[in-house]
Structure 1
């Protein structure tokens, strides 16, 4: 019976995009709501601002993630094409280079040469991409996946403070949005840490601190301009 292992590194790509999207959705939307509320806006205006922030933020996250990861994918593709050319032009040099990598990892020279020979015969470009360039199918850049994950999780995160706006009166929004958003952020940090195998307390404290700082600064700016108006 074949034993299949699943490692946490297989989750790195989508987990990073998902956590970043949800975190930004909560922080940016909650901060926007607090800033507008602190300026003295009505409940309807606050809701409109929050929804606009959700749509704009989701599109911005998707576009930014797609462009960023596409650039990474382009770089990986260019490196692999260069490696393909070098394999065709200088096979002996590339074989020696691959064997040297295995020697540095602990194999003796004879075994390293045999391993390099067998891997080259099986999939030369794959071996060099993985062991020389650090490019593998598991960690390869996937622009569309990253963009969709960022947009979806941003929207999910942004909906949470918007629900508070829809359920509570304006007089209660400042404290309710702040407190609920910090709870959401702590839960998000804990979930991400658990999935990624990191410290739950550290991750929760980190996202909560920066979320609180962002909301406090935005509320301060809203209150300042509200008073000035």
Structure 2
């Protein structure tokens, strides 16, 4: 496929240019493969969009091949991270791959590079928005349950790490630290489960209390048509006066009234009776999920003590495990929100370690006071 608007090949490009062009070519090769692999794992319009983006990356490849000439061979290999992303795209097709691809498109240097055409720079800017839109759809599907899992685990991680650090700093024995950690895990997980159960159940009860009933069908035949309070029901539910009158006359069996029949019956759900609130999910299921997410995070700082470690070594290993987990959860949240995984992971690490440091200092203070 011919390039869109390539520069004329430079007769004697210097080494820095060759290295830069080959790096660009490797990135374009990788991105085309990633988008093609994602298209294979999707269908419909999304797959077609991804295939067209992959074709645009092929045009960019031709531009760099034209500039490189014989230096384009052997074909440059993409970086390790790019090959890993290709592997994920081929085998999983996850929203995380799109999120990483979005960040890669956003970092394109073509706008500042004189060897890239203006059309290529514009393509990359558009590609970022295309991938952002596709990523947003996936994020919306994932954000509810997955984000709840990440934040629930993070809550357990930070709270129990802080608790263990605080108790450990008082000079308590390892068995006491372990007991405190287990108690903190159970107390926090049960509290989260109870709160989620009450929240979902209360919201369900609130919606049930607000949902229209079938009373209009049950008592309509006994109402005085000349004192038509049935209209008031429909007006209270948000219908206009004309639409409310039309609905009421329909309930009485009359269809001749001074109103527009095209106003019709947009609020007919009141005749179908209460419906289950499936969007809320099960209150028991929500409670069980919250318990599991919190407990999984709270278990991590306890692992060294469960494996028999004690003293300063147990604290160091515990905090190392906590730090790794904080970086992972922060990075996942960063990917979901389209932000830098590294920055979000570092921020999460700083917050978690900050909480643990405060309780550690409090424990040292109590240890000094008691002694």
Q: Same fold (TM over 0.5)?
A: yes
For the pair 1:89 / 2:233, whether they are aligned, the reply is yes
Answer whether contact 1:26 1:161 (CA < 8 A) is retained: yes
Q: Which runs of 5+ in 2 are unaligned?
A: 1-42, 47-136, 217-229, 244-260
CA displacement at 1:181 relative to structure 2? 0.8
Note closer, same or farther for the CA distance 1:94–1:15 as it changes in structure 2 (3 Å cut).
Answer: same
Q: Is this contact kept in 1: 2:327–2:349, CA < 8 A?
A: yes
Q: Does 1:147 align with 2:265?
A: no
* C-alpha separation in 2, matches of 1:26 and 1:87: 56
> Does 1:161 pair with 2:292?
no
Alpha-carbon distance in 2 for matches of 1:75, 1:141 = 15
Q: Distance in 2 between matches of 1:89 and 1:187?
A: 53
User: What residue is the counterpart of 1:204 in the other structure?
Assistant: 345
Per-residue CA deviations over 1:74-119 (Å, capped at 9, x if unaligned) read 333333348x98999217974559x9xxxxxxxxxxxxx97x8586
- Distance in structure 1 (CA, Å) of the matches to 2:201 and 2:168: 38
Greater relative CO (CA pairs within 8 A, separation 6+): 1
Cα–Cα, structure 1 residues 10 and 144, in superposed 2: closer, same or farther, change >3 Å?
farther
1:190 and 2:331 aligned? yes
Give the Å deviation of 1:120: 4.9
Q: For 1:65, which of 196, 212, 215 is the aligned residue?
A: 196
Question: CA 1:190–1:43 in structure 2 vs 1: closer, same or farther (change >3 Å)?
Answer: same
Structure with greater proportional helix content: 1
> Is the 8 Å Cα contact of residues 303 and 318 (structure 2) preserved in structure 1?
no
2:359 corresponds, among 186, 203, 218, to: 218
Matched residue pairs, number? Answer: 202
Aligned residues of 2:212 and 2:270 also touching (Cα < 8 A): no
Change (3 A) 1:73 1:12: farther
Judging changes above 3 Å, is the alpha-carbon distance between structure 1 residues 8 and 77 closer, same or farther for their aligned structure 2 residues?
A: farther
Relative to 1, partners in 2 of residues 1:93 and 1:62: Cα closer, same or farther, differing over 3 Å?
A: closer
Aligned: 1:79 with 2:222: no
Q: How far 1:32 sits from its partner (Å)?
A: 1.2
Write out per-residue CA displacement over residues 183-219 of structure 1, whole angstroms, 9 at most, x where no aligned residue: 211111223444x353234542443232122111111
Q: Structure 1 residues 9 and 171, CA, compared in 2 at 3 Å: closer, same or farther?
A: same
Q: Distance in 1 between matches of 2:152 and 2:367?
A: 30
Supply the RMSD in Å over aligned alpha carbons: 3.9
1:227 aligns with 2:358: no
Larger radius of gyration: 2
